[in-house]
Structure 1
Amino acid sequence: MPATKPSAVDRRSFLATTLALGATSLAAPALAQAVDPYTGQALQGTPGAGATPDAGVVQYDAGQDNRRNVSSFRMHDWQPYFSDLTNGAILVDLTSRALSYWSEDGTDFRLFPTSIPVSEDLTRRGRTEIIKKVEGPSWSPTPEMKKRNPEWPDFVPPGPDNPLGTHALWLSWQYYRIHGTHDTRKIGRKSSNGCIGLYNEHIQQLYALTKVGTQVLVI
């Protein structure tokens, strides 16, 4: 079956389309934190909420034109990318900065905006799968992150300051995750060390829909 022809839609159209497809609770996520303690940059959000970089933010793509700080939400069919939907399937499209999810029986489709790696050398593409699911994850920087940013903490416990947000999906690739973020400015941007970030409201949905063994393809 041929792939659906990609089309770009704005955020408002995306939300309306996704709701029509059965996604729930896609109101604009609540904003978080006011100042990033690692950069001193003012962030949008709730004063006093705290902030930490996501699981691999090296630089924030601040020079990027804000008008381009949105995903293009290309719609895909699953057939060109997966032989079947056993355990469900996730397609991460780095070009459109969006994540597609199909349930095992093919009746449930979701489309979420994401953050993507900040540079090509931090980007990994190919097939993997979910090997672990954690609600309320803790976070530690990888050795490479710590080398680049020695001032970063060695460990951040679960909570509002955690870079992985409220939920995280471990992939079979070491250090790679699909996770939430309290820093809502990262979604739609190049802003991570390799992980794929979602709004906390969206990772909660994806967490509930997926299981260990769900297929993942990053393109």
Structure 2
Amino acid sequence: MKILLVEDDPLLGQGIADALTYQSYIVEWVKTGKQAISFANASQFDVIILDLGLPDRDGLDVLQELRNNKILTPILILTARSTSGEKVTGLDRGADDYMVKPFDVPELMARLRALQRRESQQKSSIITHGSIEINPANFSLSQYGKPIPLSRHEYDLLLHLINRPNQVFSREALVDKLYNWDNEVSSNTVEVYVHHLRKKLGKDIIKTVRGIGYQLGSTSE
């Protein structure tokens, strides 16, 4: 899961970013509303975590501009503002969830997983595809009931494809999902992960769409 974290407090922002990274999420951390809009327009994220007390503009205005720009990414407001009126305003302007500081990290992680399930229209916490079962709560995968170890990026790539089974992704789009902007990525990185996934889960798990990129394939029932 790739997350845009918008938080101006350096200690809290670093703590959230570290917790998300520890859970194998890809994190882009920005500290202003202007940066939030720029990053959201330039890249695709699975969830945006948005603080409201930003130094350059109110987070609710940032939220409104993101929605006006047709950015439909799930947005979780994370703020010290706790009145019911402010919660209602945030949700009415297009937020998908609202958490009040201070908060528990496990609850934040559970809410992020719930937003991802909602976005992919998955109702169960366990994601299935043929003989494969994925549990996002502990980043585990099994096939025919047997645990299959995956690297972080193998897992992220497969989950991204499973959540969008009919979509074809270019190599560039997949690199954007797997890495943040600080990483240097070799030219054959995606091909290497696809090769590993095919070797572990079957050659048909990912289809190559010639001249375009990759799409979720089939797996034996």
Superposition TM-score, scaled by structure 1 size: 0.24
Which structure has more helix as a fraction of its residues?
Answer: 2
Superposition TM-score, scaled by structure 2 size: 0.24
